[in-house]
Amino acid sequence: MEITGRVTADAVVNRVESTGSEVVNFSIAINDRYKQKDSDEVKEITTYINCAYWLNTKTAEWVKKGAIVQVAGRISMNVYNNSDGNAVGSLTFHVDNLKILAFAKKQDEVPAAAKAGAAQAKQQGAQDNDDLPF
């Protein structure tokens, strides 16, 4: 099974105490749109999928919030009783193959074109002020 989605938070490396193995955990969001049969209204649905990647923990450096990834693997279900005693289930996608299709932009990263445009506008504004009659 293959899934493509956007990473919702930076990946985290966790250690399994019983085996000493390490796993990269992250979550992806998948957006889907559909139109109901008797309506012109387009509905949007977002599905969140928890992922576990066991093959290489170094990939956690690259799996950042906002990145678009394509994952291939299998789904497993975890069932447990919560603190209230109710049965709860969750799905985990065990990733065998991970491709980063688009890297996340850094928070402090501003495109060079935007910086140049801002500098040019500032310079233009200073020149315009010199021509004012008052």
**CA-closest candidate to residue 30, choices 50, 13, 12:** 50
Round to whole Å and give the CA distance between 33 and 31: 7
Q: What is the pLDDT of residues 58-75, one digit of tens each?
A: 999 999 999 999 999 999
Domains and their CATH numbers in the chain: 2-130 (2.40.50.140)
**pLDDT tens digits, 107-129:** 655 455 445 555 555 455 444 55
> What's the pTM value of the predicted model, to 2 decimals?
0.70
Here the tokens at position 111 are 């495109």
Closest CA to 98 of 41, 43, 28: 28
User: In sequence order, which ranges of the chain are alpha helices (DSSP H)?
Assistant: 112-130
Across the range 31-57, mean pLDDT stands at 91
pLDDT at 104: 84
